[in-house]
């Protein structure tokens, strides 16, 4: 197991340098653009390994309005922040626990205790190509360098709330309940666990700086009608929308009105806002945003990236992509791996 004091020293040094350099200059900018928000997708994941505490501290210092957490459960019912329900894309689990592989070739977080997960090294995401690890985004933080780990959900909340106290800002959290059906099949009620932890840390009302999101409409309905009432809380709920095929009824003319019975916002894949068929001379903006707004829903699409091949060809550059979505399509916020660039764009647009 790696030395905790070393990790702590690295994190403290990183935090001191970064916060000293940027926080004071970003405070006015955040309040000036409050009507259009920036959501740090898995933290400042364009610069540091996703869902690590340093990535979240960097996103905070860059001026993000909300910071995202993907939440999954461990074998011993602990909540950790991890994008996948498996550990093999962003950790060295295959090297440390090769015997724990399932028949499908994956290593599931739900098969490991928190103590075991704390022994793992986290890194930039990778794929196995010919048995070798190949980094997903080549120009991002290099693999096998520095020291990162998988945090718990509680640790991340405490980090963000601690920074809110020390800086005087009010940055929100944006947790996603990952694969709730998978967890329920394993006998784990992840939604109730997440909501109870949020309540413990003071998130109880829609006025609190939190959006709770999921791709599962069935789970969204359960949270709205059962989990929230049982916990005595009422938080903002967001329905994530991944594709036309899987969420067809939501994209019909009255879909947003029906969804508004349980949701406060939607998080569509950005191609559902501005069509992938668009060209520079013919930008096709769907009716999704206008229908959502008519139903009283916020719209926070995902994911806006700077990496090679990630800016659609219909946009001249990243800033043009943001202009088309924020101001032509009129989205309310965006999930981005590069929160500094979106903060700068909105500041300049003011």
DSSP tag of 21? H
Phi and psi, residue 235, nearest 5°: -110, 165
Residue pair 139/47 in contact (Cβ under 8 Å)? The answer is: no
88: which residues sit within 8 A by CB, 6+ positions away? 94, 106, 107
Contact 177, 214 (CB under 8 A): yes
Q: Which of 315, 242, 250 is nearest to 276 (CA)?
A: 315
| Other Cβ atoms closer than 10 A to 5 | 8
Write the DSSP symbol of residue 314: T
Q: Which two tokens mark 45? A: 């994941």
Just list the catalytic residues. Answer: 41, 83
Q: How long is the chain?
A: 350
- What SS3 state is found at 159? helix
Q: Helix, strand or coil for residue 7?
A: helix
């Amino acid at each position: 197991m790696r030395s905790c004091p070393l990790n702590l020293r690295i994190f403290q040094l990183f935090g001191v340098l970064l916060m000293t350099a940027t926080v004071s200059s970003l405070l006015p900018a955040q309040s000036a653009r409050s009507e259009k928000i920036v959501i740090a997708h898995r933290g400042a994941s364009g610069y540091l390994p996703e869902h690590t505490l340093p990535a979240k501290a960097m996103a905070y210092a860059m001026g993000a309005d909300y910071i995202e957490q993907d939440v999954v459960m461990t074998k011993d019912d602990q909540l950790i922040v991890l994008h996948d329900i498996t550990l093999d894309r962003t950790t060295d689990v295959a090297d440390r626990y090769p015997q724990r592989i399932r028949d499908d070739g994956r290593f599931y977080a739900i098969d490991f205790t928190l103590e075991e997960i704390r022994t793992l090294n986290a890194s930039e995401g990778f794929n196995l190509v010919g048995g070798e690890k190949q980094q997903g985004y080549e120009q991002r933080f290099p693999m096998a360098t520095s020291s990162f780990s998988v945090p718990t959900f509680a640790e991340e909340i405490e980090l963000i709330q601690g920074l809110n106290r020390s800086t005087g800002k009010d940055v929100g959290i944006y947790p996603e309940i990952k694969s709730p059906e998978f967890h329920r099949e394993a006998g784990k009620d992840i939604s109730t666990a997440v909501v109870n932890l949020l309540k413990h840390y003071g998130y109880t009302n829609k006025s609190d700086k939190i959006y709770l999101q999921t791709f599962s409409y069935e789970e969204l309905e359960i949270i709205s009608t059962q989990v929230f009432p049982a916990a005595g809380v009422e938080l903002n709920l967001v329905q994530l929308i991944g594709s036309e095929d899987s969420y067809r009824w939501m994209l019909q003319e009255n879909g947003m009105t029906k969804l508004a019975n349980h949701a406060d916002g939607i998080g569509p894949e950005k191609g559902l806002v501005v069509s992938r068929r668009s060209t520079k001379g013919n930008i096709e903006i769907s009716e999704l945003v206008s229908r959502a707004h008519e139903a009283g829903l916020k719209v926070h699409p995902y994911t806006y990236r700077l990496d090679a091949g990630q800016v659609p060809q219909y946009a001249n550059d990243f800033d043009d992509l943001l202009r088309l979505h924020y101001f032509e399509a009129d989205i309310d916020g965006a999930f981005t791996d590069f929160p500094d660039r979106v903060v700068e764009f909105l500041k300049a647009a003011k």
